[in-house]
Amino acid sequence: MTFDNFKFLYMFSCLGLGLIILSPTLAIVIRLPGGERFSELWILGPDHLIKDYPFNVSANEAYKFYLGISNHINALEYYRVYVKFRNQTEPLPDALNGTPSALDPLFEYSVFLSDNESWEKEILFSFADVSFQGNACKISKIVIDGYVLNIDKIAMWNAEKHGFYCQIFFELWFYDDTSLNFRYHNRFVWIWLNMTVSI
């Protein structure tokens, strides 16, 4: 081995060893691109499983499920979840265009989440002032976590599916630092409900 080859090998070894020693510091300074950045929004049934969601519901009966959010954006995020209620003819959010439902929110949950942090909330709900007349079911109030909210919705009888169908759904919004306002995050989850006659 010539002196020049030995000198090159020595310098290359020193450089490699220096990078290994400095790697913890370099990891702090140099941010490598992470994986996909996203947020999660989910609903779990009353037993904390992806099943047994409330479906056949009656007035003055309490029901529960769990609502959750996870942050995988690689930054602190300020989320807002809007609770909305619709009959079978009213609009849902448009996932293709990324636009929220035009319906007004009934209720909201706000939460700050760090990267890889999750939030989950037990949601308790019931209905009040429900009346049936012919092929129509009028739902006047929904109670969410003890708050009585006026909804005044009419669900028409669905002869094909044999029920008065309505839907409670949740839209995920996040605080946008650029516009200094909340923006729809194109994430929503829902539960279909069939209003039944109380016996």
Q: What is the mean pLDDT of each run of 10 residues along the chain (199 residues)?
A: 65 61 56 73 96 96 97 96 96 94 96 97 97 96 96 96 96 95 96 86
- Cβ–Cβ < 8 Å for 55, 123: no
* pLDDT, position 69: 98
* pLDDT, position 62: 97
* pLDDT, position 32: 46
Rg (CA), the chain: 26
* pLDDT, position 8: 62
What is the Cα–Cα distance from 64 to 121, expressed in whole angstroms?
10
* pLDDT, position 4: 67
Handedness of CA 61, 197, 144, 146 (dihedral sign): negative
Whole-Å CA distances, 21 to 9, 25, 122, 182: 18, 9, 48, 44
* pLDDT, position 17: 57
